[in-house]
Amino acid sequence: MTDRSLLILPGDGIGPEVMAEVRKVIDWFGSAQGITFDVSEDLVGGAAYDAHGVPLTDATMAKAQEVDAVLLGAVGGPAYDDLDFSVKPERGLLRLRKEMDLYANLRPAQCFDALADFSSLKREVVSGLDIMILRELTSGVYFGEPRGIHTEGNERVGINTQRYTEGEIARAARSAFELARRRNNKVCSMEKANVMESGILWRDVVNEIHAAEYGDVELSHMYADNGAMQLVRAPKQFDVILTDNLFGDILSDCAAMLTGSLGMLPSASLGAPMANGRPKAMYEPVHGSAPDITGQGKANPIACILSFAMALRYSFDLGDEATRLERAVEGVLADGARTADLMGPEGGTPISTSEMGDAIVAKL
């Protein structure tokens, strides 16, 4: 028993495949460095639905609340497309986010130099790109009530509610400003204050927190549609982007794709500090369950391995070990190791998920 507890939720699709490679990394830290983790594993998403009829059991939820960090693979897939909304695989993920109150979702969009040519954007537009999107993750239209489909007259009507409280906006804003201070000191906040009152409140609260507590950080605002444009046109103008749950979903995927390295990008979802001082935390790759390549040994485990690196840094105070792992990943890329997703049009021979995991462990 150590004081580092980690709950692994591989989930669906390629989730279990990439997680197997993280296990190798965890084992290496134990055997080579004496840094051990108290690892447990459980089901989430479609896998949990298949076993228990729900995408997350209460027992798993309780466990997630107790550990220092959760590492999740991916959820969802076509096999679950016709499930009732309330038991969709995604609801397991959303329940974790909501009940653990993980309000600050950190999504880096970073261009790995060895892979810059793999982007659909020109090299000079993306090379050296390093932006961080802070997406509010526990509120907004994902969770607002009332919601649902009902009948009015003889028509169906679908309703969702975008709802943000001042406190929800303020805590996300603080996280963004704190992040910016450790980076290039710039925050750009994105909403649609020109058409939505929730966007007006968002902008007002961000301005207030900025004026009262973070006057040293450079703050700008952009409408989210313009934000999407600017991300495509000249992404290097940004440092930290602060935005809400729904805009963050779309803008972070857009930003991730700019780098051409979707299989490379990790994320961290952080909440308030627990009794031991560590933040409530869940880590997951930005990519999804990739049903089209599931079970073929083609998945890139790097996003999940780098998510574990984020866990080392943010949950376990093992910043040096995180850096070591990140360097190992850069090293194997520099050596030319490529999974199938990292093959350019010129081709070459990709290595398998498992070979990539082995190569990274060998570099450590």
Ligand X SMILES: CC(C)[C@H](C(=O)O)[C@@H](O)C(=O)O
Binding residues for NAD(+): 77-90, 288-300
Annotated binding site: 77-90, 97, 107, 135, 225, 249, 253, 288-300
Residue 258's binding partner out of ligand X, a second copy, none, with CB under 5 to 8 Å set by partner kind: a second copy
Nearest residue to the partner ligand X, using Cβ: 90
77-114 as b/e: b if 16+ CB within 10 A? beebeebeeebbbbbbbbbbbbbbebbbbbbbbbbbeb
CB 107 within 8 Å of CB 231: no
Binder of ligand X out of 21, 191, 249, 341 (CB under 6 A) = 249
191 binds ligand X (CB under 6 A): no
User: Counting beta carbons within 10 angstroms of the beta carbon of residue 143, is it exposed (0 to 12), middle (13 to 18) or buried (19 or more)?
Assistant: middle
What's the token pair of residue 357? Answer: 């995991």
Nearest one of 69, 75, 19, 8 to 47, comparing CA atoms: 75
In angstroms, the CA 320 to CA 288 distance is 28
Binder of ligand X out of 33, 161, 165, 194 (CB under 6 A) = 194
Least Å distance between CB 208 and a second copy?
Answer: 10
Least Å distance between CB 120 and a second copy?
Answer: 5
In the chain, the amino acid numbered 353 is T
Write out the binding residues for ligand X, residues 42-101 only, by CB under 6 A. 76, 90, 93
Residue 158's binding partner out of a second copy, ligand X, none, with CB under 5 to 8 Å set by partner kind: a second copy
Which residue blocks in 182-269 are alpha helix, DSSP H? 197-213, 224-233, 245-258
Nearer to ligand X, 16 or 76 (CB): 76
Return the active site residues: 142, 192, 225, 249, 253
Question: Which parts of this chain interact with a second copy (CB under 8 A)?
Answer: 76, 85, 88, 90, 94, 120-122, 125, 141-142, 144, 147-149, 152, 155-167, 192, 194-202, 205, 224-226, 228-229, 231-234, 246-247, 249-254, 256-258, 262, 288
Residue 155's binding partner out of ligand X, a second copy, none, with CB under 5 to 8 Å set by partner kind: a second copy
Annotated binding site for Mg(2+): 225, 249, 253
> CA-CA distances (angstroms) from residue 334 to 166, 329, 338?
46, 9, 10
Nearer to a second copy, 55 or 301 (CB): 55
CB 91 within 8 Å of CB 299: no
CB 191 within 8 Å of CB 247: yes
Nearer to ligand X, 190 or 332 (CB): 190
Binder of ligand X out of 166, 197, 225, 335 (CB under 6 A) = 225
In angstroms, the CA 113 to CA 242 distance is 25
Residues in contact with ligand X by CB under 6 A are 76, 90, 93, 194-195, 225, 249
